[in-house]
Amino acid sequence: MTWDSWFKRRRWEQRMDAELRFHLESQIEDYMAHGLSREEAERRARIEFGALDLTKDECRDERPARWLHQIRRDFQYAGRSLLRTPAFATAAVLTLALGIGANTAVFSAVYTALLRPLPYHEPNRIYSVEVVIPERASQFPSLPVTIQAFLEWRRTATVFDGMTALRPWECNLSGDGEPERLGGARVSANFFEFLGSPVVMGRSFASNEEQPGSENVVVISNALWQRRYGGDPGVIGRKLDINGESHTVIGIASPHFLAPVQTQLHALVPFAPRLDIWKPLAPTARELQGESWDHGVLVRLRPGQETAHASEQLRSIMTAWATTKYPGMKVDLRTQLRPIREVYSGKIRLRLLLVLAASGLLLLAACANVANLFLARAASRSAEFATRIALGAGRARILSQMTAETLVVALCGGALGISIALLGARQLTTIGPHELREHSGINPAALLFALGASFLTAIVCGAIPAWKVYRQDAVSGLREGARSVLGGGIRTRQVFMGIQIGLGTMLLASSALLLRSFINVMGADRGYSVDRVMAVDLSLFGPRQDAATFYRQLVENTRSLPGVQAAGVINDLPATAGSTGASRTIFHATDTNFQDLVLKRPVAVIRSVSTGYFAASGTALRAGRHFRDQEPTLVALISESLARALWPAEPIEAVVGRTIRQGNVTGPLITVIGVAQDVRAGAVESELPPFIYRPYPQWASGPATLVLRSALDPAALSPAIRAEIRKLSSNLPIPPLRTMREIVSESVAQRRFQLLLTGLFALIALLLAAVGVFGVVSYAVACRTREIGLRVALGATREDVLGWVLKSGMRPVLLGIAAGVCGAIAGASLIRGVLYGVTPFDPYSTVAVIVLLLVCSGLACYLPARRAARLDPMTALRCE
Partner 1 sequence: MSAKKTDLYQGTLDLLVLKTLAHGPLHGYGIAQRILVTSKEILQVQQGSLYPALHRLERQGLLKSEWKESGNGPMAKMYSLTTAGRKRFQEEMADWRRYAGAVAMVLES
Binding residues vs partner 1 (CB under 8 A): 15, 18-20, 22-23, 25-27, 30, 48-51, 54-55, 58-59, 61-64
- Tell me the chain's radius of gyration from C-alpha atoms: 38
Tell me how many degrees the CA angle 21-22-27 measures, rounded to the nearest 5: 95
1 vs 649 by CB, closer to partner 1: 1
CB of 23 to partner 1, least distance (A): 4
CB of 7 to partner 1, least distance (A): 17
68 vs 828 by CB, closer to partner 1: 68
Contact present, 300 and 154 (Cβ < 8 Å): no
CB of 12 to partner 1, least distance (A): 10
2 vs 90 by CB, closer to partner 1: 2
25 vs 531 by CB, closer to partner 1: 25
Residue 137 CB neighbours (<10 A): 12
304 vs 392 by CB, closer to partner 1: 392
63 vs 552 by CB, closer to partner 1: 63
| Beta strand pairing call for 691-695 and 635-639 | antiparallel
CB of 25 to partner 1, least distance (A): 7
Distance set, CA 468 to CA 377, 472, 491, 735, 778 (Å): 12, 6, 12, 67, 21
39 vs 62 by CB, closer to partner 1: 62
CB of 69 to partner 1, least distance (A): 13
12 vs 541 by CB, closer to partner 1: 12
Contact present, 816 and 495 (Cβ < 8 Å): no
Would you state the torsion angle of the CA atoms of residues 597, 603, 608, 614, taken in this order, to the nearest 10 degrees?
Answer: -110
What does the alpha-carbon distance between residue 584 and residue 606 come to, in Å, rounded to a whole number?
7
15 vs 238 by CB, closer to partner 1: 15
Concatenating the DSSP letter of every residue in 256-293 gives T-----TTSSBTTBPPPSS--EEEE----HHHHHS---
Kindly state the DSSP code that residue 811 receives in the 8-state scheme. Answer: H
Contact present, 214 and 199 (Cβ < 8 Å): no
Concatenating the DSSP letter of every residue in 639-696 gives EHHHHHHHSTTS-HHHHTT-EEEESSSSS--EEEEEEEPP---TTSSSPPPPEEEEET
Concatenating the DSSP letter of every residue in 370-381 gives HHHHHHHHHHHT
What does the alpha-carbon distance between residue 58 and residue 149 come to, in Å, rounded to a whole number?
86
CB of 60 to partner 1, least distance (A): 9
- For 361, what's the count of Cα atoms within 13 Å in the CB-facing half-sphere? 34
Q: Residue 377: which of 453, 264, 482, 470 has the closest Cα?
A: 482
CB of 39 to partner 1, least distance (A): 21
CB of 774 to partner 1, least distance (A): 51
Concatenating the DSSP letter of every residue in 410-443 gives HHHHHHHHHHHHHHHHHHHHHHS-GGGTT--S--
6 vs 326 by CB, closer to partner 1: 6
21 vs 479 by CB, closer to partner 1: 21
72 vs 302 by CB, closer to partner 1: 72
CB of 356 to partner 1, least distance (A): 49
The amino acid present at 358, given as its one-letter code, is A
Q: Residue 704: which of 548, 817, 561 has the closest Cα?
A: 548
CB of 41 to partner 1, least distance (A): 14
What does the alpha-carbon distance between residue 851 and residue 509 come to, in Å, rounded to a whole number?
11
CB of 38 to partner 1, least distance (A): 16
22 vs 841 by CB, closer to partner 1: 22
CB of 1 to partner 1, least distance (A): 9
| Beta strand pairing call for 603-609 and 635-639 | unpaired
What does the alpha-carbon distance between residue 117 and residue 123 come to, in Å, rounded to a whole number?
8
CB of 441 to partner 1, least distance (A): 49
Kindly state the DSSP code that residue 236 receives in the 8-state scheme. Answer: T
Q: Give strand pairing partners of 638.
A: 675, 692
